[in-house]
């Protein structure tokens, strides 16, 4: 990328491991991308910091904990020196947590923490990033959801398990539709990465991170405003609400 070329700008939450780390890794393959990687503890994000050395200035790491609303509200001060002149093209709300509970065993405080992280956090991240998105060229928000958030498909996939997680992802899916209704000028989609071999997905998962993220990036870079509000799998298939 020449000094006069405007970069394509990305913000990825939950970037220190799993699919967030793989997203950053694949985005850095092009020096046309300027990537802001957000994570809870940058000092402990060894793998993420390892990518920074070879990024030639295209990777910026910031502290952002999506379960901590004060942390989210403080993010613009970190983002302004990086994105202030160019704006934000892609916001990827990736950070999330899971609980292996059921409807009749869930702890209400743990449930609220899952919803706080998986739905309320992305909602607030979207709010504080809106001024940067408005200055961007692409103006895309991608919420990393799950087939578990589908009312039609969730029970068939995991039965009664992961109740809090599924409920939080249904809330995230609704956020997508409400954001689209409020801001039709933005392109907002929700997407399931598949069952991926990460710390969260486990060793029994079906997909390697490279395959999942390759599919995600193919989708998110090709969507248009006409696609806003869609609920998709990493391979482009639509998921029933």
pLDDT digits (tens, 9 = 90+) for 141-191: 999 999 999 999 888 778 899 999 999 999 999 999 999 999 999 999 999
Token pair listed for 138 = 């692409």
Give me the phi and psi of 152, to 5 degrees please: -80, -35
Domains assigned to the chain: 8-233 (3.40.50.720)
Residue 158: predicted pLDDT = 81
Give me the phi and psi of 222, to 5 degrees please: -110, -10
CA distance 137 to 33: 13
- Write the pLDDT tens digit of every residue in 41-80: 999 999 999 998 888 889 999 999 999 999 999 999 999 9
Radius of gyration of the chain from Cα atoms? 17
């Amino acid at each position: 990328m020449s000094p006069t070329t405007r970069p394509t700008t990305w913000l990825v939450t939950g970037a220190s491991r799993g699919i967030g780390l793989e997203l950053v890794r694949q985005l850095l393959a092009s020096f046309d991308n300027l990537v802001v990687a957000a994570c809870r503890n940058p000092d402990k994000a060894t793998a993420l910091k390892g990518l920074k050395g070879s990024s030639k200035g295209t990777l910026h790491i910031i502290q952002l904990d999506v379960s901590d609303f004060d942390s989210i509200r403080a993010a613009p001060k970190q983002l302004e020196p990086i994105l202030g002149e160019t704006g934000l093209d892609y916001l990827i709300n990736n950070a999330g947590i899971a609980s292996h509970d059921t409807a009749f065993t869930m702890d209400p405080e743990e449930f609220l923490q899952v919803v706080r992280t998986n739905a309320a956090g992305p909602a607030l991240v979207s709010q504080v990033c809106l001024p940067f998105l408005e200055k961007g060229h692409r103006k895309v928000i991608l919420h990393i959801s799950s087939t578990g958030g589908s009312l039609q498909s969730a029970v068939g996939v995991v039965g009664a398990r992961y109740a809090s997680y599924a409920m939080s992802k249904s809330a995230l899916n609704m956020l997508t539709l409400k954001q689209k209704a409020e801001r039709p000028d933005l392109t907002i989609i929700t997407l399931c990465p598949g069952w991926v071999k990460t710390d969260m997905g486990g060793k029994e998962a079906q997909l390697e991170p490279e395959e999942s993220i390759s599919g995600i990036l193919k989708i998110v870079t090709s969507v248009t405003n006409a696609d806003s509000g869609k609920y998709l799998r990493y391979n482009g298939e639509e998921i029933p609400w």
